Every structure is written in C-alpha cells, then in structure tokens.
Structure 1
Amino acid sequence: MKRDYTLYLVTEGTLPIERLLAVVEEAIKGGVTMVQLRDKESSGEEFFGKAVKLRELTRRYEIPLIINDRVDVALATDADGVHIGQSDLPLSEVRRLVPPSMIVGVSTSTVEQALAAEHGGADYIGVGAVFPTQSKKNAKVLAPGKLESIIEKVSLPVIAIGGITNENIDAVLTLDVTGVAVVSVINKAEDPYMVAKSLRSALER
C-alpha cells in the first residue's frame, strides 16, 4: 500500500456508520490519500465495527487506513497503521507491539516532542493545531514560527493539522509540509467529494 500523506482525512466520531462510510468514500474519490479513524465517542465494539467497514472500503481504493489510539483494533483489523497522541501508549511500546510494516504516526506540538517521535521510530508526525479548530476541544493553536521550527529540526514527514480549510490552506503550503490533515471541513461538508477535490487541487498547485 502506497504511503501518500498529501491529503489526510481524520474522521469524526459523531458520524453514524453509514454516513461515515459515504463521507470517506466521496472524499477518497475527491483526492484524499490517507484515512484515519478517530472516534472518542463510540464503545469498543462500535469502534471495531467501524474499523472493519472502513478497512474494507479503503482497501478497495488502495488507500492506507490508520487507527487512532487503539493499537488492538489496528492489529485486529489488519489496518495499515496506528496514530498516537502524547498521552497514549508510549511510542516504544507501540513499536514493540506492531509489525515493522505498520505505519506509526505521532501527534506533536513542540520541537522536543517531534525529535522524540523521530528518535523513537515514528514514520510521520502530525503537527498542530495550525489554526483554531472545533474538532478537538483541548487543541492549542501553535505559536507563530513553531511549525517552521519543527519542520527544520526533523527529517520525518510533517503533516499539518488543525482548522485547515480551502480558505487558509495557502498559508500552510508556503511551508515545507509533506501534507495536510483535515477533519471538520470534509466530515461536515454537504459535498465531501467537492471539498476534497478543491483541497487536493490546492495541494498540487
């Protein structure tokens, strides 16, 4: 499965399964290159059920599926990767548990966290929040220059995340990011296909 971090979709837990699948499929058709299942609302059983369905869908389109937090679900569904935050299972333990082929991503917001992720064997880092965001209640917006500092210090792929939309994406693209991750702008869109297509066009300009 090709690793392409260009346009990385993170799902919202509030979406019912049928709507979730419809949104993700339309977004993939529009140009999304990677999908992360993030869901803080559902029970373990519901989360697993969503992961199984998304695994089928993303495999059909040959798009990598990343599971947020839940290493057990990532392993059980044969997902392509797992993404962890700073308060989740330590990166060293995740690396010990998953096969070498599995993608491991880490959320970071400081140079120290980014360097620790690189030294610990992460495949990529998510850095944010770049702009104010509604999708993560406790997300703090990065201080000016912070994203640039992280990009300078690490050689890992850097994915910018947090409040990115068609209106502000150009500001992110002036920096040397590997890709952008989006949540609300696609998950809450009336037409996920067109939003994804527009974002992808901006990224390829």
Structure 2
Amino acid sequence: MIPDIRCYAILDPEHCRGRDLADLARASAEGGATLLQLRDKHGTTREMVERARVIVAALAGSKVPVLINDRVDVALAARADGVHVGQDDMSPQDVRRLMGPDAIVGLTVKTADQAAEVPVGLVDYTCVGGIFATVSKHNPDPPVGLLGLGRLADRIRLKRRDLPVGAIAGIRADNAEEVIAAGADGVAVISEIFMADDPRAATERLRKAVDRGLAGRTER
C-alpha cells in the first residue's frame, strides 16, 4: 500500500514532557496526523509492547496507522500496522517476510548510495534525513539540507516514481513548506508536535503548512 506520510508524527516517551502517550496520540490524530510512529530507544521490550498496545488502542478507528521504530517483534505483539527501519536495523527483506504483504514498511535513507539501493518492491515509503540539525535524535552524520533532500528524493524516484519520500529532523511548521518544495511528500517530526504545549494545535499548524507546500508544488 502507499501510505499517506504528509504529517508523520513520531511519539518518543523521552520527548513528550512526561505526558500520557494515548492522549498525545489521539491529539495528534485529531490535529491531522496521517501516520504515527512509536520510537522508544530505551524502554524494555515489555514496556515497548505495552506502550505500543496503548497507542494502537487509542487510535483504533482513527484511520491513522501506527508503526513501530526498529522492532518487528514489538509491532507483531501489539498488532501495529507496520515498522520503520534504519540502515543498521533488520533488512526490509526480513521485515516484509515477517510482517507480511499488508504491513507498512518504511526505510531511512541518508546517502546517495542508500537511495540508489532502496528495495522499492519491499518498502512502502522512504524517509530522508536528517534535513536540519535536531536535538530530538542523535545523528552522527551532518544534515543533508534542502539541496541534499532534493537530490536524494530524485534518486529514489528514478527507481519508483510513486514511492513516497518523507523528510525528518529539525522540521517545524515554519520551514515545512520549503521542505516540501525541495522534494518531500511529507514531514516526520517529534518535538514540533509532542513537546508543544498543545499537541493538537501544533499538528494542525504543521499539517496546514505541508498541505500548502504540496498545493504550491502541484500548481507549478
């Protein structure tokens, strides 16, 4: 399936000001999030499964798919909709084999070589990053910037034109339009939504900025 990655909310227990994960997930969905990922780098496996189940239950009926970062086992146990993996995680081939044909599988892309090697028949979207510097996620690589985003997106689309390309890291409502103009089909954010005083309103602002950017790209 081709997922809607326009407003991709990444919920990290370490970057949510200690608030309830279910409440935050619902607020983001109500504000216009089109996809939600649980990113939990430090929880135990049992904690991750429980958190994932809470989020899946909270978004039941919302039509917002729930993905798990890295962990296929957690996704399967919580009956999440899919998994997002990085270049050092389980291969997309193994993820697809374990998750099945109907799961959403996403892949992080950081370099031209990685873009050229995206297994387009196995993944449902890619996410390029980091675009800008960010404190929400440790990234030893320098930001690719808007120019790098455009180049990587073009390279991915040479392999499959309809494969959605998202962008991550340092993206806010006030720069989302230029990220879309540079070539992204959507933006993935952590702090912009889940560190905000009002996550629902923050999601609404971000979603509107993305939609404006996509509309402007279509007009050109």
TM-score interval (norm. to shorter): over 0.9
Q: How far off is 1:108 after superposition?
A: 0.9
- Unmatched runs of 5 consecutive residues or more in structure 2: 213-220
**Contact conserved, 2:84 with 2:107, CA < 8 A, in 1?**
yes
Q: Which moves more between the two structures, 67-76 or 111-120?
A: 111-120
TM-score normalised according to structure 2 size: 0.86
Q: How far off is 1:119 after superposition?
A: 4.1
Q: How far off is 1:34 after superposition?
A: 0.5
**Contact conserved, 2:10 with 2:36, CA < 8 A, in 1?**
yes
Q: How far off is 1:40 after superposition?
A: 0.6
Query: Of the candidates 172, 183, 188, which is equivalent to residue 176 of structure 1?
Result: 183
Map of 1:192 onto structure 2: 199
Change beyond 3 A, Cα 1:153–1:107: same
Map of 1:38 onto structure 2: 39
RMSD: 1.9
Q: How many residues align?
A: 205
One-letter identity of the residue aligned with 1:74: A
Map of 2:144 onto structure 1: 142
Map of 2:3 onto structure 1: 3
Provide the secondary structure at the position in 1 that maps to 2:115. Answer: helix
Map of 2:12 onto structure 1: 12
1:128-177 deviations in Å (ceiling 9; x for gaps): 11111111122531156221111112232100111101222122121232
Q: How far off is 1:92 after superposition?
A: 1.7
Change beyond 3 A, Cα 1:147–1:17: same
Change beyond 3 A, Cα 1:32–1:51: same
Change beyond 3 A, Cα 1:119–1:201: closer
In the alignment, the residues of structure 1 paired with residue 17 and residue 145 of structure 2 have an alpha-carbon distance, to the nearest angstrom, of: 35
**Contact conserved, 2:32 with 2:203, CA < 8 A, in 1?**
yes
